[in-house]
Protein backbone atom coordinates (compact mmCIF):
# COMPACT_ATOMS: atom_id res chain seq x y z
CA UNK A 1 0.00 0.00 0.00
CA UNK A 2 1.29 3.44 -0.94
CA UNK A 3 1.84 6.04 1.74
CA UNK A 4 2.01 9.74 0.82
CA UNK A 5 5.19 9.92 2.93
CA UNK A 6 6.99 7.12 1.04
CA UNK A 7 10.22 7.83 -0.84
CA UNK A 8 10.12 8.76 -4.51
CA UNK A 9 11.63 11.54 -6.63
CA UNK A 10 9.03 14.10 -5.57
CA UNK A 11 9.65 13.31 -1.90
CA UNK A 12 13.40 13.70 -2.47
CA UNK A 13 12.83 17.19 -3.97
CA UNK A 14 10.44 18.07 -1.13
CA UNK A 15 12.97 17.03 1.55
CA UNK A 16 15.76 18.88 -0.26
CA UNK A 17 13.64 22.06 -0.41
CA UNK A 18 12.81 21.66 3.29
CA UNK A 19 16.51 21.61 4.17
CA UNK A 20 17.05 24.69 2.00
CA UNK A 21 14.15 26.40 3.82
CA UNK A 22 15.63 25.55 7.24
CA UNK A 23 19.08 26.64 6.03
CA UNK A 24 17.65 30.14 5.80
CA UNK A 25 18.56 30.51 9.48
CA UNK A 26 22.21 29.84 8.57
CA UNK A 27 22.42 31.72 5.26
CA UNK A 28 20.43 34.74 6.44
CA UNK A 29 20.73 35.13 10.20
CA UNK A 30 18.40 37.85 11.43
CA UNK A 31 20.28 40.71 13.05
CA UNK A 32 20.23 40.93 16.82
CA UNK A 33 17.70 43.65 17.51
CA UNK A 34 15.38 44.61 20.28
CA UNK A 35 13.04 41.99 21.71
CA UNK A 36 10.11 43.84 20.16
CA UNK A 37 10.12 41.65 17.03
CA UNK A 38 10.48 38.40 18.93
CA UNK A 39 6.79 38.24 19.89
CA UNK A 40 5.65 38.78 16.32
CA UNK A 41 8.07 36.05 15.19
CA UNK A 42 6.45 33.58 17.59
CA UNK A 43 2.98 34.59 16.39
CA UNK A 44 4.10 33.93 12.82
CA UNK A 45 5.91 30.64 13.56
CA UNK A 46 3.18 28.96 15.64
CA UNK A 47 0.61 28.52 12.83
CA UNK A 48 3.36 27.36 10.47
CA UNK A 49 4.52 24.75 12.96
CA UNK A 50 0.92 23.69 13.62
CA UNK A 51 0.10 23.19 9.92
CA UNK A 52 3.33 21.30 9.20
CA UNK A 53 2.97 19.08 12.30
CA UNK A 54 -0.70 18.33 11.63
CA UNK A 55 0.09 17.58 7.98
CA UNK A 56 2.68 14.97 8.89
CA UNK A 57 0.73 13.46 11.79
CA UNK A 58 -2.62 13.29 9.97
CA UNK A 59 -0.98 11.89 6.85
CA UNK A 60 0.88 9.20 8.82
CA UNK A 61 -2.40 8.27 10.53
CA UNK A 62 -4.14 8.42 7.12
CA UNK A 63 -6.62 11.02 8.34
CA UNK A 64 -7.87 13.18 5.48
CA UNK A 65 -5.54 11.75 2.81
CA UNK A 66 -7.33 12.16 -0.51
CA UNK A 67 -5.14 10.07 -2.84
CA UNK A 68 -3.26 6.80 -2.51
CA UNK A 69 -0.98 7.14 -5.51
CA UNK A 70 2.33 8.90 -6.01
CA UNK A 71 2.68 11.63 -8.60
CA UNK A 72 -0.89 12.83 -8.44
CA UNK A 73 -1.78 16.31 -9.61
CA UNK A 74 -2.39 17.43 -6.01
CA UNK A 75 1.07 16.29 -4.98
CA UNK A 76 2.72 17.95 -7.97
CA UNK A 77 0.83 21.20 -7.35
CA UNK A 78 1.84 21.06 -3.67
CA UNK A 79 5.49 20.67 -4.62
CA UNK A 80 5.28 23.59 -7.05
CA UNK A 81 3.62 25.77 -4.39
CA UNK A 82 6.35 24.76 -1.94
CA UNK A 83 9.18 25.56 -4.37
CA UNK A 84 7.57 28.87 -5.32
CA UNK A 85 7.35 29.80 -1.64
CA UNK A 86 11.02 28.99 -1.19
CA UNK A 87 11.97 31.13 -4.20
CA UNK A 88 9.83 34.05 -2.98
CA UNK A 89 11.28 33.76 0.51
CA UNK A 90 14.95 33.74 -0.53
CA UNK A 91 14.50 36.38 -3.21
CA UNK A 92 12.74 38.68 -0.72
CA UNK A 93 15.41 38.21 1.92
CA UNK A 94 18.09 39.10 -0.62
CA UNK A 95 16.16 42.22 -1.68
CA UNK A 96 15.76 43.36 1.94
CA UNK A 97 19.44 42.87 2.75
CA UNK A 98 20.26 44.38 6.15
CA UNK A 99 16.61 45.34 6.69
CA UNK A 100 15.58 41.66 6.94
CA UNK A 101 14.23 40.57 10.32
CA UNK A 102 12.25 37.52 11.39
CA UNK A 103 9.70 39.59 13.27
CA UNK A 104 7.65 42.51 12.10
CA UNK A 105 9.67 45.62 12.80
CA UNK A 106 9.66 49.01 11.16
CA UNK A 107 12.14 51.74 11.94
CA UNK A 108 11.28 55.40 11.33
CA UNK A 109 14.33 55.95 9.15
CA UNK A 110 13.81 52.73 7.17
CA UNK A 111 13.69 53.10 3.40
CA UNK A 112 10.87 51.56 1.36
CA UNK A 113 12.15 48.66 -0.74
CA UNK A 114 10.63 48.71 -4.22
CA UNK A 115 13.01 46.51 -6.20
CA UNK A 116 12.71 42.88 -7.26
CA UNK A 117 9.52 41.24 -6.00
CA UNK A 118 8.81 44.30 -3.87
CA UNK A 119 8.19 46.19 -7.10
CA UNK A 120 5.15 43.94 -7.73
CA UNK A 121 4.07 42.67 -4.31
CA UNK A 122 3.72 44.44 -0.98
CA UNK A 123 4.78 41.51 1.23
CA UNK A 124 6.55 38.82 -0.84
CA UNK A 125 8.45 37.58 2.23
CA UNK A 126 5.18 36.68 3.96
CA UNK A 127 3.70 35.36 0.72
CA UNK A 128 6.69 33.00 0.54
CA UNK A 129 5.97 31.76 4.06
CA UNK A 130 2.31 31.32 3.19
CA UNK A 131 3.18 29.31 0.07
CA UNK A 132 5.68 27.17 1.98
CA UNK A 133 3.13 26.49 4.70
CA UNK A 134 0.26 25.68 2.35
CA UNK A 135 2.48 23.59 0.08
CA UNK A 136 3.14 21.00 2.81
CA UNK A 137 -0.42 19.66 3.29
CA UNK A 138 -1.17 19.94 -0.44
CA UNK A 139 1.97 17.94 -1.23
CA UNK A 140 1.05 15.33 1.39
CA UNK A 141 -2.44 15.22 -0.16
CA UNK A 142 -4.12 15.99 3.14
CA UNK A 143 -7.32 17.88 2.35
CA UNK A 144 -8.47 18.91 5.88
CA UNK A 145 -5.08 20.36 6.82
CA UNK A 146 -4.89 22.06 3.41
CA UNK A 147 -8.14 23.85 4.24
CA UNK A 148 -6.71 24.84 7.63
CA UNK A 149 -3.52 26.16 5.98
CA UNK A 150 -5.47 28.27 3.49
CA UNK A 151 -7.65 29.79 6.22
Q: What is the pLDDT of residues 78-100, one digit of tens each?
A: 999 999 999 999 999 989 888 88
Instruction: Decide if pLDDT at 38 tops 70.
Output: no
Domains defined along the chain, listed by start: 9-150 (1.20.120.1630)
Over 70: is that where the pLDDT of 42 sits? yes
Alpha-carbon distance of 9 to 27, in angstroms, equals 26
Above pLDDT 90, what percent of the chain? 48
81 or 26, which is more confident?
Answer: 81
Distance (Å, whole) CA 87 – CA 111: 23
Instruction: Give the 3-state secondary structure of residue 6.
Output: coil
Q: Compute the mean pLDDT over every residue in the chain, rounded to the nearest whole number.
A: 85
What are the tens digits of pLDDT across the range 115-148?
Answer: 888 888 888 999 999 999 999 999 999 999 999 9
Amino acid sequence: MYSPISWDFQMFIFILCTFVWWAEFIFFPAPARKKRGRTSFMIIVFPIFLVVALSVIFTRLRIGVVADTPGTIMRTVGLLIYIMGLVFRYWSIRELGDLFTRGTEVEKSQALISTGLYNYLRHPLYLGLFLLTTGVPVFLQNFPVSLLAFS
